[in-house]
Amino acid sequence: MSETRIFNFNAGPSALPLTVLKEIQASFLDFKGSGMSVTEISHRSGVFDEVINDTVARTRRLLNIDEKYHVLFLQGGASLQFAMIPMNFLGEGATADYVNTGTWSTKAIKEAKLLEKKISVVASSEDKNFSYIPKNIEFNKDAKYVHITSNNTIKGTQWHSFPDTNGVPIVSDMSSDIFSRPLEMEKFGMIYAGAQKNIGPAGVCMVILHDDMLKLSEELLQGENKTLPNMLRYNTYSSQNSMYNTPNCFGIYVTQLVLKWIEEEIGGLTKMEARNKEKGQMLYDFIDGSNFYRATAEKDSRSLMNVTFRLPTEDLEKEFIGQATKNRLGGLKGHRSVGGCRASIYNATTMEAIEALIKFMKSFASGK
């Protein structure tokens, strides 16, 4: 690794594969012989058509999905989806189930309520400071969808298996673990993800939407939702290959390269999952074996993407973060709402980075 680069444990925007960064660098001034940067080419050009179409094709192959799923690229991040989802899928009298597992789930629930939509919070882990994923949930059979957050970046928890919802489609915010593992896509009516944690730079949101959900939205748009602005309708994007207006061309391009890296260098999502499990197990095993560091999430709910931990005192945590930065280990400060420490070990984080972090953690603990 270059001496000017650090091991990046930021929670988002986060690390990108070094090979992807090098490919961007090599083609930045002259993209595919166009004589222009990828940031300059027209989104209506054949050159960009190849980019977006290949990104969609790679998404389909990696997730093993067919034409019943629409792959869309939106702006506004996952946060805009918190509002678009109930706007598009909940008509008058319709209801949806939400599971609250932390900050981002809470925000999604708040947006639905702000729109005065009828929702039920059917389970929550707030009673233990969101340190676990709820189990044995009773879902409403009449719900239009079940909303979950698959990985919780702030609290360091993750759904390792997805719930049986009795056929109700799951809508999942996968901003921080999309493409980290294979998925049983038939369970999902929709998944969405801000790219900046696991598949690209900030500024683009991937939405993968089943045809049944799109049809539900279109039916409502013919009636009670007919005044919904075009930019808030999913069919606006599905009918225009995500180019109703100018999309985030650079963000989509980088996402294409990350998916290419997963597919061609890593070898697909099964191998990516094995790699992520190995990294997470190594770090958690070290923390569990230490009498100085303490993991904050319950064992069976621990995230393979965001490892949250505490030291004996807040003063030691501040010192730890400061010394880590000096040792080229960046982004280890916990979210401002909870404090502590957090190592975000997304797809692009290497085993070398994990080994360097553990070596530093050993050294820091032995000196205290």
| 239 and 100 together in one domain | yes
Residue type for 198, please?
A: N
pLDDT tens profile 194-210: 999 999 999 999 999 99
Contact 259, 59 (CB under 8 A): yes
- Give the residue numbers spanning the domain of 203: 23-264
Residue 1 within a domain: no
Which of 264, 280, 299 terminates a domain? The answer is: 264
Beta carbons within 10 angstroms of residue 284's beta carbon: 18
Q: Of 29, 45, 26, give the one whose Cα is nearest residue 37.
A: 29
Of the candidates 104, 117, 155, 279, the residue annotated as catalytic is 104
Q: Is 136 exposed, middle or buried (0-12, 13-18, 19+ CB in 10 A)?
A: exposed
The total number of structural domains in the chain stands at 2
Which residue numbers in the chain have pLDDT < 50?
Answer: none
C-alpha 148/C-alpha 168 separation (Å) is 12
> What pLDDT is stored for residue 224 in this prediction?
83
C-alpha 238/C-alpha 233 separation (Å) is 9
Of the candidates 97, 173, 261, 333, the residue annotated as catalytic is 173
In terms of pTM, does the model score above 0.95?
yes
Q: Does 104 participate in catalysis according to the annotation? A: yes
The C-alpha angle 1, 203, 280, rounded to 5 degrees, equals 45
Which of 233, 264, 295 terminates a domain? The answer is: 264
pLDDT tens profile 99-123: 999 999 999 999 999 999 999 999 9
Q: Which helix (H) or strand (E) holds 307?
A: strand 306-310
CATH of the domain at 99: 3.40.640.10
| 201 and 314 together in one domain | no
Q: Of 139, 127, 142, 143, give the one whose Cα is nearest residue 99.
A: 139
Of the candidates 117, 144, 155, 197, the residue annotated as catalytic is 197
Number of H helices, E strands in the chain: 10, 14
